[in-house]
Amino acid sequence: MACGEYGEGKMTEPNEIIKEILSYFNNKSKNNKLKALVTAGPTREYIDPVRFITNKSSGKQGYAIARSFRDNGFETTLISGETNLSPINGVKFISVKTAEEMFKETLNNLPVDVAVFSAAVADYKIKNFNDEKIKKVENLNLILEKNIDIISHVSKHNELRPKLTIGFAAETNNLYENSLKKLEEKNCDWIIANDVSNKEIGFDSDDNEVSIFYKDNSNEKLNKMNKSLIASEIVKRVITKLN
Ligand code: PMT
């Protein structure tokens, strides 16, 4: 090896390597007229200029999906809340903080052929936002009001709706029933559900295990694997559906 280590080695047969390279470039050129949009990471809902409510989303699952769309030739936009991850080369990257900003940027970047909403968007925002840092008081009351539901808005307006609108469902219980309810209520084509009560999958883990619920009432489970592999499985299914 270049590093000086030596010993017996093994490599993939050259024919297999050539096949992989050809399939990589064929896929790229086959899909290069398709556009994808992915939302990822958490949103922040500000209480005052320095305090906010958020959640544990790391962005790993959404970034992996955006990377897989790029690798398969899609013109890809990633709209991300604050995470520790770096923008992805070859992907249009838009950084946002609040759900409202994510909503506006989503609208600015439509139409697309497929949109995957993997962001953990806060369902509520602070109604009584304070322009100045709140002083310490004995009891502080916050009033929360509903945030705009980004995926529902997009999927229920025909002029905006991507051919394939895919939501995620983060569930801690009744995964099956809750996912089917979200599929219908949010007017999605697919809902990809993960059990976020399990620390080995879901929020901030490297792996995920998901069930995909389709509009035609069928569903399938993808067993626990790295989030990048889950992403390629999802994108593989998107390509089959769009072509
Ligand atoms: O980021 P990681 O650490 O890798 O974790 C990945 C994940 C667990 C965040 C991801 O796999 C996931 O489940 N994302 C969805 C989280 C979520 O907010 O789920 P929900 O069941 O509350 O929302 C359902 C769907 O509606 C989601 O597609 C969500 O993006 C969308 N939504 C929700 C609220 C809102 N106001 N607007 C929305 O568009």
The CA 203 to ligand 1 mean position distance, Å, reads 10
Best of 55, 102, 117 to mutate for ligand 1, by most ligand atoms within 8 A of CB? Answer: 117
* Cis bond upstream, residue 111 (ω within 30): yes
**Domains located in the chain, CATH noted:** 34-130+141-242 (3.40.50.10300)
pLDDT 10s digit of each residue in the chain, 243 long?
888 888 988 889 999 999 888 878 877 787 889 999 999 999 999 999 999 999 999 999 999 999 999 999 999 999 999 999 999 999 999 999 999 999 999 999 999 999 999 999 999 999 999 999 999 999 999 999 999 999 999 999 989 999 999 999 999 999 999 999 999 999 999 999 999 999 999 899 999 999 999 999 999 999 999 999 999 999 999 999 998
**Ligand 1: lining residues by beta carbon, under 6 Å:** 39, 41, 57-62, 99, 117-121, 123, 147, 149-151, 167-170, 182, 186, 194, 196, 202-204
Span from the CA of 141 to the centroid of ligand 1 (angstroms):
27
Q: How far is the CA of 124 from the centre of ligand 1 (A)?
A: 13
Per DSSP, helices labelled H in 124-193 are 150-155, 175-185
Q: Give the CA radius of gyration of the chain.
A: 20
